[in-house]
Structure 1
Amino acid sequence: MIGGVKVDINPITEGKTGTLATYLPGVESYLAEKQAMQKASALEAILEKTVTLTVAECGEFHSLGEFHENIASVEEAIAVWKSIPPERMNGIPSIGINIHTEGTEHYEDVEMDIFSGKVIDLEVLDYVPDITDDPKAIEVIAELIDKLPDIEVCGSLEKWQAAILASQIDQLSYDYDTYQYQDTVEDREAQVANITEDIRNGNIGYLNDFLNAVISEGVREGITDIFGEGVEIDGSEAVQTARRAKELLDKLAEYKPLAKVEELAEQNYNMIDNVLNNGAEKKEQEQIKGRISIKEKLAEKKAVIEQRDKAERILPEKETEKKSQREM
């Protein structure tokens, strides 16, 4: 009795719930089902987005000249862009990106020219989070840059690539063990920001360890699913999780934070090659060569003072000599 109310402090009894051995599996099954429902609801809330490319004969006014849209691949977009005759004077040809959200009207699409003339302007993306927050869009832009090596690129995708990669790793961590994640992470936004910073600084050892652990466990559980329960490979959740972890591990290995460091510190911008300050050694040698020691400076100063004192002694003698000549 608590406060006059009869309380059953042991609701698990053989008469009500069955034995502990039969009760616990049911609880675990219930919790697993609830977790699956939560994940399904979260996936339904995320509307599918389609990223395509556009090519315009006139980047400023798409209605002037040719305009091609719904281009699925970067290769096709570049081919269409190159097919526009250069003698046409309707404007400067451009390649743009379009993001369509399922269930919305096409006039609500996010669309912007990325490549115009001979320049890809990435700095303007700071003002278009709908593009920078979309991993597929960033991948398409990166591929466009890679396949047009002779064009000028203003800015860098590095910070968005790191943020997207951090967000994907964080999501995998959440999906992998939701309860532990909720118990250990208080601020998810801060967690993603910390992971992003670590990726940009190259502090990824613990991320590699986590992803490798997920892969190992996923493979082990996947074998049990396939050979023990007869589940198809594509139907095994453990195998799918391991695949996600492997993809993220590969992306983490491909990411090169040093390139960003070089952009900030490299003296010769023609030498962005994962070697910091290629021209620094020569400059430092020149500085050392032209440097004067304190001792030399003191000697130089002493010589100047002695020269000045000598001049001051000679000057009175000359004045006396001139005065004597005038008196005569």
Structure 2
Amino acid sequence: MRFVLILIALIALVWTGAAFWPGPGPVSHAWLEARVTDRAERIAHAGGLKRAPANTLEALAQAVEDGADVLEVDTQMTADGVLVLMHDDTVDRTTNGSGLVSELTLEQIVRLDAAFGYAGEDPDRFMRQGVRVPTLAEAFDAHRDMRWIAEIKPDTQEAALAMCQTIREAGMADRVMVGSFHDNAMAHFREACPEVATGMASNEALSFYIAARAGVADLHPTRAHALQIPPRASGLDVTHPRLIEAAHARGLLVQVWTINDPAEMEGLMARGVDGIITDRVDVMAGVQAG
């Protein structure tokens, strides 16, 4: 139903003659200007999910060693208002604890073993080694020279404001791009932190895809600087050449997740995507070196 409504709105836009209005100019931001331009960027998913426990300082360090250009992390907010690196809304799957992140204090969360649920390469290397859940601020401080994609997982204004505050206090406004699946959280973040680059939220990305396929993407209103998208969704080829061409015409980056297969990486690079979000930065580096 959402797809149909957006499609109808776009058809109406063109039908009423809006397609003849001038579109917006290309976006710009320091985050974009600092990117690698001669190849697709290597973006470490959750810091490098298959190489070390996800969303930990150990994973981030491994990703940097493997040649990552960008570190991608997920954030949840604790009961006392601190953003920590965590994908799920509970600690159950990736630690030896249980409960909602939002109902646990930072003091409780940092006591947990963040390698407890790890099933990637050489799990014995990390078990009972004091791997813990870091705060977003700690992660930034450990790799201040890197560029980041930080995702707001909770669909709340509080989490969006905490993200803004954390980035500002770290002095990382030019080094971080913020993403979220949630249109509500993204709207709150953009209102609070207009100086920080953002990706498209779900409905925004869907409508841009439809506009691109319809040939009217230059009319699509957005404050985003990138699309983080899967290669396929609901049977659709999300990385269709028309989408990539339309995004680039607006100055938007196209970053695809989560790709670990070398052949698929090569295919996406041939299509001209700007970045690949991967669990295996080392594999992608090998593909590009070859």
TM-score, length of structure 1 as denominator length: 0.22
Q: Which has the higher contact order (CA 8 A, sep 6+)?
A: 2
| Bigger proportion of residues as strand | 2
Greater share of residues in helix: 1
